[in-house]
A and B are shown apart, each in its own frame.
Chain A
Amino acid sequence: MRNAIEVHDLTKYYGNHLAVDRISFEVHQGEIFGFLGPNGAGKTTTQRMLTTLLKPTSGQVFIHGHDLARDSYPAKRVMGLVPEESCVYTELSAWDNLLFTARLYLVPRGERAGRARQLLETFGLWEKRDVKVENFSKGMRRRLSIAMAIIHKPALLFLDEPTPGLDAQSARDILGLIRKLNSDGTTVFLTTHLIEEANQLCDRVAIINDGKIANIDTPENLKRTFQRVQSVEVSLEPNGHNHSQELASLAGVTTAVKMGDKWRLYTEDPSALLPLIMDFATSNGLRVVSLNTLAPSLEDVFLEITGREVGVIQHKPQDNQPARRGMGGRK
Chain B
Amino acid sequence: MNNQWIQRLKNEFSQAWAVAVKDVRVYYLRPGMIMFGFLMPFFMFFSFSVRRQLDAGDGLARLLALTVFFTAAAAGPFIIPTERRIRTYDRLLAAPMSLLTLLLGKIAVGAFFAIAVSTVALTAGLLIFKVSIARPDLLAAGILLGASAFSTLGLIFGSIPTNNPGDVQMPSTLLRWGLMFVSGVFIPISEMMPAARAIAYLSPLTYAQDLMNHAVMGSGAINPWIDMAVLLLTSILLLWPSMRLHKRAQVLGR
Contact = CB atoms under 8 A, between A and B. Distances in A.
Interface stretch (B14-22, B114-122, B141-149, B225-233): B14-22
A87 B86 contact: yes
Interface string B91-122: 11111111000000000000000000000000
Interface string B1-38: 00000000001001100110010011000000000000
Most buried by A among B22, B25, B87, B94: B94
Nearest to B105: A104
A79 B94 contact: yes
Contacts of B123: none
B251 A55 contact: yes
A91 B96 CA distance: 24
Given A89-B22, A96-B25, A100-B18, A106 B96 contact: yes
A51 B94 contact: yes
Most buried by A among B86, B95, B247, B250: B95
Contacts of B15: 103-104, 106
Contacts of B247: 55
Contacts, number: 70
A77 B96 CA distance: 5
B27 to A, nearest CB: 8
B194 interface: no
Given A85-B87, A106-B96, A148-B91, 10 more contacts: A45-B253, A48-B253, A51-B94, A52-B93, A55-B250, A87-B88, A88-B88, A104-B18, A104-B91, A104-B95
A237 B250 CA distance: 59
Interface string A70-108: 000100110101011101110110001000110111100
B90 interface: yes
A77 B95 CA distance: 7
B94 to A, nearest CB: 5
Contacts of A106: 11, 14-15, 96
Contact of A87 (B87, B95, B251): B87
A87 B252 contact: no
A53 interface: yes
A73 B9 CA distance: 13
Contact of A76 (B14, B86, B94): B94
Contacts of B22: 89, 92, 100
Contacts of B11: 106
Interface of A: 14, 45, 48, 51-55, 73, 76-77, 79, 81, 83-85, 87-89, 91-92, 96, 100-101, 103-106, 148
Nearest to B98: A73
Interface in B195-254: 247, 250-253
**Interface SS of B by simple majority:** helix
A79 B98 CA distance: 15
Contacts of A105: 95-96
A81 B94 contact: yes
Given A51-B94, A52-B94, A105-B95, A83 B252 contact: no
Most buried by A among B11, B19, B252, B253: B253
A87 B97 contact: no
Nearest to A158: B94
Q: What are the nearest 3 A-B pairs in CB distance?
A: A103-B18, A76-B96, A77-B96
B90 A53 contact: yes
Contacts of A84: 87
Contacts of A85: 86-87
Contacts of A54: 250-251, 253
B5 to A, nearest CB: 12
Contacts of A87: 86-88, 90-91
B18 to A, nearest CB: 4
Nearest to A89: B26
